[in-house]
Amino acid sequence: MSGGDTAPRVVQDLFGVVQILCDGTVVRADEPVLQPKETYPDVPGVQWKDAVYHAVHGLRVRVYRPASSPPLAGSSKLPVLVYFHGGGYCIGSFAEPYFHSCLRAAEELPAVVLSVQYRLAPEHRLPAAIHDGADFLSWLRGQAELGAGADPWLAESADFARTFVSGVSAGANLAHHVTVQVVSGQLTVSPVCVVGYVLLSAFFGSAERTAVEIDPPADVSLTVEMSDQFWHMSLPVGASRDHPVANPFGPESPSLASVDLPPALVVAPGSDVLRDHVHGYAASLKKLGKAVEVAEFEGEQHGFSVLRPFGEAADELLRVLRRFVYTATER
């Protein structure tokens, strides 16, 4: 056998962007090949900058705030929207080109939006990303404790007592888990107060197929096969889709009956193979007596808010989100 024949072969391939070789090596290519070619209008009324929240892991947060915007009634500062990006826990970035949804939220809610970087699988399998999300909220607690000595933008603009945890797709999954950690007392974040959480096109799963997964819509942005591959590459080796990270109301998951969850906004696109999982999550919350609002977007695909950040559905989503933030902060 020649030396060239011993090169490690690819055993798993995710869009040609993430490859796992037979020797366990992970090879990453540039992700821009996955990004849409559209150009979007600028949002000039928003400032942004990056800050490091975990020096050891080299993790950053992108801070967005309106350059000048009136605060919500009753406060001289703005609510805080923590945002976790999507990508099946395997791809995506806090600074990806899909940042227009963060820009729009900062300007139109208005709010201080914090887009959080976390480690990706398969190099860092779950629950690494959830640990990072918890570490970020601990960093945010430290900022809140510093008061005037915090990062200047946060000290000037952020009302930490009105913090919302949000995310899209895998980021929505992450948002659920860190919110549970906060309100169950596993993670202390005071004086930060999480008053609501927002799940956009949430990435949940189960070992048992749902009706929509068996007979999916024709035009989807995320297929069942893609969803399966993301879970296979991100969950602990050997875990099934009933792992508590994937299926928070599944047979392996602890009960949330005694957990005092804040109000939830669950956004459910109609043309999404995960639609039944999203509806099932909301139904399980309601069964436990939790406050949950379900926003249906018929005909929209998984991740529509980032795939088409200036579309009519994204416009409506921002109106729904603004109303949810106002309602939660007035309680």
Q: Catalytic residues, which ones?
A: 169, 272, 302
The tokens for 277 are 């999982």
User: How many other CB atoms sit within 10 Å of the CB of residue 186?
Assistant: 10
- How does 202-237 read in b/e, with b if 16+ C-beta sit within 10 Å? bbbbbeeebebbeebeeebbbebebbebbbbbbbee
Helix, strand, or coil (residue 70): coil
Length of the chain: 331
Q: Give the strand pairing for 26-28 and 292-301.
A: unpaired
* The amino acid at 47: Q
Sole residue written with tokens 């705030």: 65
| DSSP of 260-293 | -PPPEEEEEEEE-TTHHHHHHHHHHHHHTT--EE
